[in-house]
Amino acid sequence: MTLIVSLTVFVLASFVGFEVITKVPPTLHTPLMSGSNAISGITLVGAVLVTGAGGSSTLATVLGVIAVVFATINVVGGFLVTDRMLEMFKKHR
Amino acid sequence: MPIELSGLLYLAAAGLFIVGLKRLSSPATARSGNRLASIGMLVAVVVTLLDQGVIEYVWVAAGLVIGGAIGVLLARRVAMTGMPELVAAFNGFGGGASALVAGAAFLLGGTGGAVTALTLGLSVVIGSVTFTGSFVAFGKLSGRVSGGPVHYPGQRYADPVILAGTLGVLAWFMISGDLLEFWILLGLSLLVGVIRVLPIGGGDMPVVIAFLNSLSGVAASMAGFAIESSVLIISGALVGASGLILTNIMVKAMNRTLMDVLIGGFGGDSTGGDGSDTGDRTVRRTSADDLAIVLAYAQSVIVVPGYGLAVAQAQHALRELADLLADRDVDVKYAIHPVAGRMPGHMNVLLAEADVSYDRLYDLEDINSDFAHTDVALVVGANDVVNPSARDDATSPIYGMPILDVDRARTCVVVKRSLSPGFAGIDNPLFYKENTLMFFADAKGAIEDLVREVRTA
């Protein structure tokens, strides 16, 4: 993938992000933060790739494993806590 | 798995993230949106595990199990008041992971050119700053580090040198692609995160968390550039945009600029003025039994909760009071200032936890015009966000900050321990207005007394 293609994807995704997020009401801003935070844990994909490559560098594997742990905390914890919060948002009466 | 298929599945994952975020536009669909996003994540991770490049599973599995267990534990244990700390910590883990991915990718394959070196370097810089910055923020929010601005001697001169040095080493790394520069870059970036967040006062933390949230996304995007993964680039960009929007909202609500906040030194720091000097102004006090009558015979009440309410854990008692009033056909609404809690939307979560129906919660723009025809505005544990100086006094340091116009209600009741100033450290003329009644008490005790009195009113 060339730099230009990557950059194109980045810029277009940013626009989509701005459009979508602007419509999130202030009442949901905390779940938005924790939920989007879980999405930034997508770096887990990169962490699995570098760790699973089973490369020659022990140090790379060590960094990779720590990255997997960190990113998984981010993903699992982020989605769960967001769900916990959103469950409480109820309408009654 | 053929590369075309995995590419399509990554695209599906990115699509699920976008649809998931879109469903956050209403509390009614938000929970399903979060689930869709988590399914997207599951798809992305499973596809990666099946990637032909992944041949070593033991360490990956170990990392997933350990990280998953810690994540579940943190998510289950946290109290809703502790949400800002938790989000700060999660931001830190995300940023740290992106920096580590870039590091490991570099150790495995070198840079392979200046462009890749730049994206690797940026991923390390942004990820590391997010990592240490978030944990300093975590320390401040959880009270483990002083909430006030912390400076080291000579910081004014040293900081610009360190920042310039970091950029210099980044450029050097782009050209050389050597291991030594990589380590220096990593060390400097970790340092920058610490020294840039320490001087920021506790009052500005909502801005800082939102900004670090954005950075954690950008770091993931940069890692995506480095390892050529479009799902990382897309997801990171979404989060980067989200964090920026929230940062902007917070900065506006606090009447600051991002630059002011990042330069630091406000919030938790007294900026002069004192609330003890009442001069010849008089304060009208009220008591629980009098106030109960006022509330019980009102037609409309708008409650303005501030963080003092959450500190006193009075939100449950408040909901009980609101229910009692609603039973008497009083129209009760809640007005939520954007900085009512300790992070964007925090107060809404705290009230949702206390079982307040979300359609009773109103944002500043939606409710401000209602105060003028409301019988009682009940301010509990809030101060600066209802200070009319921000609207009327051009010499006030908070002039221009959006406030809730509680002083325009027929009667404004302020539940507060004393006349002491709030975070901004300035006097609040609201307390001395003719239509203001002060109820000096701890929020929780006061509301519980009111509940008792309204029952018999």
The letter for the amino acid at A6 is S
| Positive or negative torsion for Cα B355, B248, B125, B12 | positive
Give tens-digit pLDDT for B2-19: 888 999 999 999 999 999
- The per-residue pLDDT for B305 is 94
**In this predicted complex, what is the ipTM?**
0.96
- Please state at what angle helix B83-109 crosses helix A43-52, rounded to 10 degrees: 40
| pLDDT > 60? residue A85 | yes
Check residues B275 and B215 and name the one with the higher pLDDT: B215
Contact B358 A40 (CB under 8 A): no
Out of A17, A66, A75, the one facing B41 most closely (by C-beta) is A75
Q: Are A10 and B237 an interchain contact pair (Cβ–Cβ within 8 Å)? A: yes
User: Min CA distance, B342 vs chain A (Å)?
Assistant: 10
Phi, psi angle pair for B437, to nearest 5°: -110, 130
Task: Provide the pLDDT for residue A93.
Answer: 59
DSSP-derived letter for residue B285 is B
**Is B424 a residue whose pLDDT tops 80?**
no
- Helices and strands of chain B, counted as H and E runs: 17, 6
CA angle B23, B85, B418 (to 5 degrees): 105
Query: Which residues 20-79 on chain A approach chain B with CB closer than 8 angstroms?
Result: 20-57, 59-61, 63-79
What sign does the dihedral B220-B225-B229-B235 (CA atoms) show? positive
Chain mean pLDDT for chain A: 93
Point out which residues pair with B333 in neighbouring strands. Answer: B302
**Residue A14's closest chain B neighbor by CA?**
B237
Asked if pLDDT for residue B21 goes beyond 60, the answer is yes
CA separation for the pair A43, A45 (Å, rounded): 5
Question: How many Cβ contacts (< 8 angstroms) between chains A and B?
Answer: 398
How far does A4 lie from chain B, in Å, by closest CA? 10
**pLDDT for B327:** 93
On chain A, the residues whose CB falls within 8 A of the CB of B75 are 76-78, 80-81, 84
Selected residue of B70, B186, B239, B364 to mutate for chain A interface (largest A Cβ count, 10 A): B239
* B378 Cβ contact partners less than 8 Å away, ≥ 6 residues apart: B295, B301, B302, B303, B304, B413, B415
- Whole-number pLDDT of residue B264: 64
The model's pLDDT over A30-66, given as tens digits with 9 standing for 90+, comes to 999 999 999 999 999 999 999 998 777 889 999 999 9
Residue B26, φ and ψ in degrees, nearest 5: -145, 140
Task: To the nearest 10°, report the CA torsion of A18, B345, B340, B356.
Answer: 140
pLDDT at B370 over 90: yes
Gap between the Cα atoms of B116 and A6, Å rounded: 12
The answer, yes or no, to whether residue B158 has pLDDT greater than 90, is no
pLDDT (0 to 100) of residue B420: 80
Mutate which of A8, A33, A42 to test chain B, going by most B C-beta atoms within 10 A?
A: A42
Residues of A in contact with B98 (CB under 8 A): 43, 46, 67
Among chain A residues, the shortest Cα distance to B323 is held by: A93
**Could you tell me the pLDDT band of residue B322, with boundaries at 50, 70 and 90?**
very high
pLDDT, residue A42, reads: 96
Give chain B positions within 8 Å (CB) of A31.
24, 30, 34, 345, 349
B258-267 per-position pLDDT tens digit: 888 877 654 4
How far does the CA of residue B430 sit from the closest CA of chain A (Å)?
Answer: 26
Whether B442 shows a pLDDT value over 80: the answer reads yes
| H helices present in B228-363, as ranges | 230-253, 258-263, 288-296, 307-311, 315-327, 346-353
**b vs e for B371-401, b when ≥16 Cβ sit within 10 Å of the residue's Cβ?**
beebbbbbbbbbbbbbbbbbbeeeebbbeeb
Joined together, the tokens standing for residue B93 give 């883990």
Catalytic residue positions of B, numbered: 384
B313 pLDDT above the threshold of 90 = no
| CA–CA min distance B365, chain A (Å) | 11
Cross-chain residue pair B224–A46, CB shorter than 8 Å: yes
When mean pLDDT is compared across A4-8, B79-83, B109-113, B431-435, the lowest value belongs to B109-113
Write out the DSSP string of chain A. Answer: --HHHHHHHHHHHHHHHHHHHHTS-GGGHHHHHHHHHHHHTTHHHHHHHHHHT--S-HHHHHHHHHHHHHHHIIIIIHHHHHHHHHHH-----
Does the distance separating the beta carbons of A63 and B242 come in below 8 Å? no
The per-residue pLDDT for A3 is: 87
User: Closest Cα partner for B423 from B445, B395, B401?
Assistant: B401
Mean pLDDT, residues B397-401 taken together:
86
Question: pLDDT band for position B74 (50/70/90)?
Answer: very high
Mean pLDDT of chain B: 90
Measured between beta carbons, which residues in chain B are less than 8 angstroms from residue A87? 31
Say if the Cβ atoms of B48 and A49 lie within 8 Å.
yes
Residues of chain B found within 8 Å of residue A58, distances taken between Cβ atoms: none
Per residue in B123-143, pLDDT (tens digit) is 999 999 999 999 999 999 888
CA pair distance B13, A88, nearest whole angstrom: 27
**Chain A residues within an 8 Å CB radius of B54:** 48-49, 52-53
Instruction: Enter the DSSP assignment of B454.
Output: H
Predicted confidence band of residue A4 (pLDDT cuts 50, 70, 90): very high
Q: How confident is the model at residue B279, as a pLDDT?
A: 63
Question: Across chain B, which distance is largest between two alpha carbons, in Å?
Answer: 81
What is the rounded CA–CA span in Å between residue A84 and residue B76?
Answer: 8
CA distance A7 to chain B (A): 8
Looking at the complex, report in whole angstroms how far the Cα of residue B23 sits from the nearest Cα belonging to chain A. 9
Residue with tokens 């700390």: B85
Average pLDDT value for residue range B68-83: 95
Q: Do A29 and B348 touch (CB under 8 A)?
A: yes
The verdict on a CB contact (< 8 Å) between B71 and A36 is: no
Closest CA to B49 of A47, A25, A90: A47
What are the pLDDT digits (tens) for B232-265? 999 999 999 999 999 999 898 888 888 888 776 5
For residues B111 and B84, which has the higher predicted lDDT (pLDDT)? Answer: B84
pLDDT at residue B268, rounded to an integer: 42
Helix residue ranges per DSSP H, B25-113: 27-49, 58-77, 83-109
